[in-house]
Amino acid sequence: MKKKDIQLLMIILIVSIIGLAGARLNASENAATSQAVIFLNDEEYVRVPLEDPQVIVIDQGDKTNEIQVTQKGVSMLYSDCSSQYCLQQGEVTLENMDQRFLGAWIYCLHNKVSIQLLRGEE
């Protein structure tokens, strides 16, 4: 390798490191202001900031859902619905919400519970 090639590689490496550091800083700032919005029967039930991790239990008498909010995202821990599709949808995180088929949402159609993950800037 020539000296110019090594210099070019070093510049590319430095720019990449700066870009990754900026992305991580932005992600941590978004996590501090991001929140999970839980809907019950198409009406807002509760908003939970990601910086306040907890498990939310929605008990509708004959229907129950447990939702876990973490600093990374939100997931359905338990549902007594017959299909269990809501559990199979997995966790919505700030990193994967743009690549998921359902985007930032988790749906439990049988129990009429839905969850939306909102980034800090939304």
Residue 69 domain flag: yes
Please state the rounded mean pLDDT for residues 93-108: 93
Residue 113 domain flag: yes
Residue 2 domain flag: no
> What pLDDT is stored for residue 18 in this prediction?
78
Domain range for residue 74? 34-118
How do residues 39-57 score in pLDDT, each as one tens digit? 999 999 999 999 999 999 9
Q: What is the CATH number of the domain that holds 113?
A: 2.60.320.10
Overall number of domains in the chain: 1
Residue 72 domain flag: yes
pLDDT higher at 7 or 63: 63
Q: What share of the chain is helix, strand, coil (3-state, %, to 5)?
A: 30, 35, 35
Counting Cβ atoms within 10 Å, is residue 7 exposed (0-12), middle (13-18) or buried (19+)?
A: exposed
Residue 7 domain flag: no
pTM attached to this predicted model: 0.74
